[in-house]
Amino acid sequence: MTFAQSFRRDWLSNIRGDILSGLVVALALIPEAIGFSIIAGVDPKVGLYASVIIAITISFAGGRPAMISAATAATAVLFGTLVREHGLDYLLAASILAGLIQIVAGWLRVGAVMRFVSRSVMTGFVNALAILIFMAQLPELIGVSWQTYAMIAGGLAIIYLFPRLTRVVPSPLVCILVLTALALMFNIDTRNVADLGALPNALPTLLLPNVPLNLETLMIILPTSVAVAAVGLLESLLTASIVDQMTDSSSNKNRESVGQGIANIASGLFGGMAGCAMIGQSVINVKSGGRTRLSTFAAGAILLFLLLVLGDWVGMIPMPALVAIMIMVSVGTFSWSSLRDLAHHPRRSSIVMLATVITVVGTHNLALGVGVGVLLSGIFFAWKVAQIFRVTTTLSDGVRSYRVEGQLFFASAEDFLAALDFTEPVGTVRIDLTEAHLWDLTGVQAIDMAVLKFRRAGAAVEVIGLNEASATIMDKLAEHDRPGAMERMLGH
């Protein structure tokens, strides 16, 4: 594909849909960016500038078209302590360092680790995010006037019913326009965007963080930068996989990692915090018709235009309009089929999904929740593989043969040794690994232990049937034929 063809595909193939969806996303980004700034303990303009810079930069540098990246709660919450103890400049420096770490991770092809995230973990991640998105709207749903509830209900009605009339204009945008008009016409008493904080009225300026360039500064910001880089990459790569599924297309995860790093460096240099992909806004973008890089660029560019030119009008948008949109995102993001699947999916898969959801919702830590899910998936997988393992034995002409079938590794090594009779008086023992595979040091040590115990009992031992990979790991790690092995391994 030529550059021209690639450019048309990535930027010009869906102009109307991308610009309209970018407008919807830009409007929805404003209250969230302000809220994330509050979480981090900084001025609202830090989150808003970050959202502008990250969205525009990632539209060029990222590996997943139509995915929205900006300031997020997942990264904002990690900056709180750093800002309280050292101030805004250290946040900016930590954002730049986090970006550098993400670029290195992309060069190291960290995107390949996504293959180890099971479907159950991804479902749990999506469901947890849907719950967190809804929970974030609770302050706007509790202790408010009946007019607010009526406006939210009306907004939801517009969002779900307007597409039956036409899909030319995204229904979330119609929701914002109609509810804003009603609030102004009837002077409805409800919170609006301006109540969240002052909007910036000037372009972000390029600056270097005012911090000492020494080892002490590095030690202060490094823990935060590593955490932000890890959480940001995790959320971005998982969100990229979800957008892949929604659009039936593929993405370049390693390029996305590098792109996120470049965007976070740019954000730190222009007075913003580090961010990452946003599943809620990405879902809004895709459901509103966004498909190419133009939609992400439009979200950032329109957000900047709204802040600088139409700031007063944007401040009048009633919060019920944005709450209705986020409720739509929450409902649309949650995998409702996963609830039905609990009855007939394997129990272990359901446990992994539920553990991921409970951990994320309970801690509001996406990385921890996914980590728990991946860990449980690994444990359950190892347990299942260990069960597909058996040792059969025959005795012929004074030769005791043990035929091993399955995977010999840390989870099955104990069963392997338990199947051997080290007290039987035989002249020769043959361990046949033709139908087995050695995976790790524990499996090799189990073979070593078996050989040495049989030799101590006076038997000659043959290990046969090793495939090429198993023979390689045995040659590298096995101890039983090396001098002094008996004393080292059997403790004599």
> Which tens digits make up the pLDDT trace of 46-71?
999 999 999 999 999 999 999 999 99
- Model confidence at 492: pLDDT above 60: no
Which pLDDT does position 446 carry in this prediction?
A: 92
User: For strand 389-396 and strand 399-408, is the pairing parallel, antiparallel, or unpaired?
Assistant: antiparallel
Q: What average pLDDT does the segment 246-257 reach?
A: 90
Find how far residue 338's CA is from the centre of its chain.
19
Q: How far apart are CA 232 and CA 226, in angstroms?
A: 10
Grouping H, G, I as helix, E, B as strand and the rest as coil, residue 172 is: helix
Q: Which residue bears the tokens 């030119």?
A: 309
Percent of the chain with pLDDT over 70: 99
Least confident range from 3-12, 173-182, 481-490: namely: 481-490
What pLDDT score was predicted for residue 68? 95
Query: And the tokens for 72?
Result: 């997020």
Helix axes 253-269, 44-61, angle to 10 degrees: 140
| Interatomic CA distance for residues 181 and 249, integer angstroms | 38
- For residue 21, the one-letter residue type is S
Q: What is the pLDDT of residues 335-353, one digit of tens each?
A: 888 888 888 888 889 999 9
Tally of residues, the chain: 492
Alpha-carbon gap, residue 318 to 325, rounded angstroms? 12
Mean pLDDT value of segment 88-115: 90
Residue 129: pLDDT over 80: no
The Cα–Cα gap between 390 and 388 comes to 7
CB atoms closer than 10 angstroms to residue 295: 32
